[in-house]
Structure formats: C-alpha cells, structure tokens
C-alpha cells in the first residue's frame, strides 16, 4: 500500500474520532479573547493525538509540533468564533455539537473549528506513518481572528519566533484549493463642525451635512474601484455613522463615518487613503486607521493597525502545485482552484510577511457566521487526509 492510500485509509478509520473531537470543541463557547477553555480542550486533543510537544503561547495560541527538521510547515486554524446572533433563527442548540445525519452541528463547525479538528487527526495520521527527517510541522489553533485577522500570526512570527516556509490555512474552502483573497482595512473619517443654536443653524457649521456629502461621494467611489481577474473588484461601504452636538437643539459639531474597505490586487493602504483625501480635500475632516489593542485571555495586551493586505499565490507556485499533487494522489482527480470571499489570517502570513500559503478547509463558507451552522463529516475526513498528504508532498 502506497503512503497516500495509507493516509486515506487512516482518515476514514478516524472518521468518528475527528467528528467527536469537533463536537467537543463546539460545546465550549469560544468568542474572541474568551478562548481559554476551548484552548485547554484543544491542547488535550493534540497531546492525545501524539504530538511531540504542545504549548499555549503568551497570546493564547495552541501550538502543537511534530518533527524537528529544517523545513517548516505550519497548519493554521483559528479557534475563536462569532456569537450566535438571534437564537430564534436556529433550529438547534448552537452549542450542542450534535453528530447527526452525516453532519456535526453548531457554531464554529465551519468557521472554523472543523479545520482545527481535521488537523488534530492529521497529527495522529502523521505520527503513525512518520514524517521526513528534515521536516517540522506545527499545528496552530490560533486566537482573536474574528476580532483582528492575522494578529495571532504577528505574535507567532515576532514573539514566538516561528516563521514557517509554508502555511496551510484551514478556513472553509468546500474542499477546494484556495490561493488568495482580497485584503481589507477599516477607516474612520471624522468631521469637525461648529455648533450653534438649532433655531439659527446658519450661525454654525453642521458636521452631519459635511459627512453626508462625503458619504454620497464614497458611494460613487465604490462603483469605480479597481477590478482584478482573479480576486474581483475592490469595494467600500459605510458601516457606521456617528454624530454629536451640545444638545438636540443645536447644530451637530461632530460626525464620524466608519468604512469597510475591501482591497483587490494592486490596491494598498496608501491608494485607498488617497482616494478618500480627494473627497474631503475641501472639508474640515481627518482620516484615521483604527489600531486594535485588546487583552487576550492570557492577560496580554497586544495590537496592530487594522490594515490587512491583499494576497494571492500564482496557480503555478510550488505550494499550490504541491497541494494539487497531494489531492490527486489521494483521490485520483484534479481539485478545483479558487479564492475566499472573506478575509483570513493570510493577510498577515503572506500579506505582511510574504510566507507562501495554500488554503484547504472542510465546509462551505456560506455557513460562516450564519444560523444553523453545520459541517459534513465527509469533509472532515478529506481535510484530515489532505493535511497529512501535503506534509508528505513538499
């Protein structure tokens, strides 16, 4: 039996093991910065799977390791989830972790503890079949991704001093190989007016009117942003409008717009700011990129600017070709190649640090952040096989 047939056979044998591990993770609510209990469970699962070493770092990331060679592969899955939203929209308990009708049910099953459970099984498979002597494989259960994409990997690279040669991102890809996504940034524009009594508005300068005029121009800007054949079009939308005045009988002297800006290929922080500067050039306004800095569950305060660069790998890049090879060796067919709609830790891993990435994850992203989230157990099996096979293909 060749090694890929062995991997596929083991992934099927561990089908229930993978599903039950995922169920255990789902049962523990794990919002960003509140991941401590689920991380202890994940650490236990990695240790039981046979990892050579498992640690929780200063930010709260769980990092398992097998091997101790010079070539370094990391497999990343974030363990934090969003909240459940309106519970009336759910047909089942979001934290039941129920395994039924070929699915594991619950919040985080797709986004993205399913990928995490699959990589735990990959540890078990690789410990059975062995890895190359010159290789180290890290298995990362990362934190705070839902609050601030990539912050976890900024810590891993800069503080833990782990900089892999290749990273597999296990966010949901519907079992396709993904090679990029648009970047994003958050932008605030503050408008400064002059208050006056509401009975004589001509004496003041209304910040709401200033912001509203800019908002109309931002809507037009969205229509003319750049387009990339692979990643698609850039976009901008206003997600929040805040204003203030001395009283409800006064002209507003302050307003602020919060923008969600999605960046396609060749769009950058500088180009996005320049576009907005041209809109507010004759207005008393200021552009600011927010800085995220919050305490992790470990008590550590850590942060980064909320600019998350665009990234993509070329289809003929060696990391993508290795993924295609691994998939074909497992299933004797060509995988589909695509991209994510949303953002991932890749914004830091490749967008800032230039580390090559391949994306492959169980589940369909349409269930991400949605009620009635569930993932096929079949997907978990394929993902666990792929992660092990990739480690044997590079």
Active site residues: 80, 145
Among residues 242, 221, 243, the alpha carbon closest in space to that of 233 is found at 221
Give the DSSP per-residue string, 287-332: EE--EEEEE-TTS-EEEEESEE--EE--TTSHHHHHHHHHHHHHHS
Among residues 330, 63, 2, 344, the alpha carbon closest in space to that of 180 is found at 344
Q: Is 14 helix (H, G, I), strand (E, B) or coil?
A: coil
Among residues 44, 49, 109, the alpha carbon closest in space to that of 79 is found at 109
Could you tell me whether strands 183-192 and 285-288 are parallel, antiparallel, or unpaired per DSSP bridges? antiparallel
| Spatial distance between the Cα atoms of 267 and 317, rounded to a whole number of angstroms | 22
- How many CB atoms lie under 10 A from the CB of residue 50? 14
Among residues 109, 55, 58, the alpha carbon closest in space to that of 81 is found at 109
């Amino acid at each position: 039996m060749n090694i890929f047939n062995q991997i596929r056979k083991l992934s099927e044998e561990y089908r229930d093991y993978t599903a039950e591990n995922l169920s255990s993770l789902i049962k523990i609510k794990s919002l960003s910065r509140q991941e401590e209990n689920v991380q202890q469970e994940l650490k236990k699962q990695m240790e039981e799977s046979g990892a050579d070493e498992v640690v929780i770092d200063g930010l709260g990331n769980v990092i398992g390791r097998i091997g101790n060679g010079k070539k370094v592969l990391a497999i990343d899955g974030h363990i934090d989830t969003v909240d459940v939203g309106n519970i009336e929209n759910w047909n089942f308990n979001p934290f039941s972790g129920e395994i039924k009708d070929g699915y594991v049910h619950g919040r985080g099953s797709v986004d993205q503890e399913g990928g995490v459970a699959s990589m735990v099984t990959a540890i078990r498979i690789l410990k059975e079949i062995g890895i190359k002597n010159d290789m180290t494989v890290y298995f990362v259960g990362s934190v705070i991704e839902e609050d601030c994409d990539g912050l976890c990997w900024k810590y891993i690279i800069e503080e833990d001093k782990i900089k892999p040669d290749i990273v597999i991102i296990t966010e949901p890809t519907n079992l396709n190989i993904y090679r990029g996504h648009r970047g994003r940034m958050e932008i605030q524009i503050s408008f400064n007016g002059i208050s006056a009594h509401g009975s004589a508005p001509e004496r003041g300068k209304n910040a709401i009117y200033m912001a509203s005029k800019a908002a109309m121009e931002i809507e037009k800007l969205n229509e003319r942003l750049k387009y990339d054949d692979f990643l698609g079009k850039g976009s901008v939308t206003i997600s929040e409008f805040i204003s203030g005045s001395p009283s409800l009988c006064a002209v507003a002297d302050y307003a602020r717009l919060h923008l969600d800006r999605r960046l396609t290929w060749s769009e950058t922080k500088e180009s996005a700011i320049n576009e907005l500067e041209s809109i507010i050039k004759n207005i008393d306004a200021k552009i600011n990129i927010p800085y995220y800095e919050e305490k992790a569950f470990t008590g550590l305060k850590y942060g980064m600017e909320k600019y998350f660069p665009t990234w993509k790998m070329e289809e003929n890049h060696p990391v993508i070709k290795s993924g295609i090879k691994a998939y074909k060796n497992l299933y004797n067919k060509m995988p589909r190649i695509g991209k994510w709609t949303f953002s991932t830790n890749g914004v830091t891993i490749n967008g800032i640090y230039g580390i090559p990435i391949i994306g492959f994850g169980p589940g369909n992203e349409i269930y991400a952040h949605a009620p009635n989230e569930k993932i096929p157990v079949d997907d978990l099996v394929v993902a666990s096989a792929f992660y092990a096979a990739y480690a044997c293909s590079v």
